[in-house]
């Protein structure tokens, strides 16, 4: 079961390939989306993360089996996620 509340780490940065666009990255799920400004990029990546988690749950997949490569993580956040992931890895996802 996916916890009803879970803090996810989002990074928002200017797009390097499309001037004026912004990229949002959910590190725990390694989901990326883009928007026309920082707030829009954050909103889009949050929506994408929710869709991924819902789809994983419906398909019986573990959403915690993926995450962004270490080089994308701030060191303190990576350490915290590594510990949290151990806990979440013990959860079973049951599809009714």
Q: Which two tokens stand for residue 41?
A: 């990029």
* CB within 8 Å of 43: residues ≥ 6 apart: 24, 35
Tell me the C-alpha distance between 12 and 69, whole Å.
16
Q: What is the pLDDT of residues 22-50, one digit of tens each?
A: 999 998 899 999 999 999 999 999 999 99
pLDDT category at 72 given cuts 50, 70, 90 is confident
Spatial strand order in the sheet of 22-26: 10-14, 22-26, 31-35
Mean local confidence (pLDDT), 73-81:
77
pLDDT reported for residue 89? 53
- Predicted TM-score (pTM) of the model is 0.75
């Amino acid at each position: 079961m996916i916890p009803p509340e879970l803090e996810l780490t989002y990074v928002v940065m200017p797009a390097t390939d499309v001037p004026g666009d912004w990229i949002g990255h959910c590190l725990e799920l390694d989901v990326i989306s883009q928007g026309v400004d920082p707030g829009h990029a954050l909103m889009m990546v949050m929506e994408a993360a929710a869709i991924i988690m819902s789809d994983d749950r419906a398909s019986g997949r573990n959403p915690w089996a993926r995450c962004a490569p270490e080089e994308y993580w701030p060191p303190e956040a990576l350490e915290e996620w590594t510990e949290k992931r151990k806990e979440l890895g013990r959860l079973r996802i049951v599809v009714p």
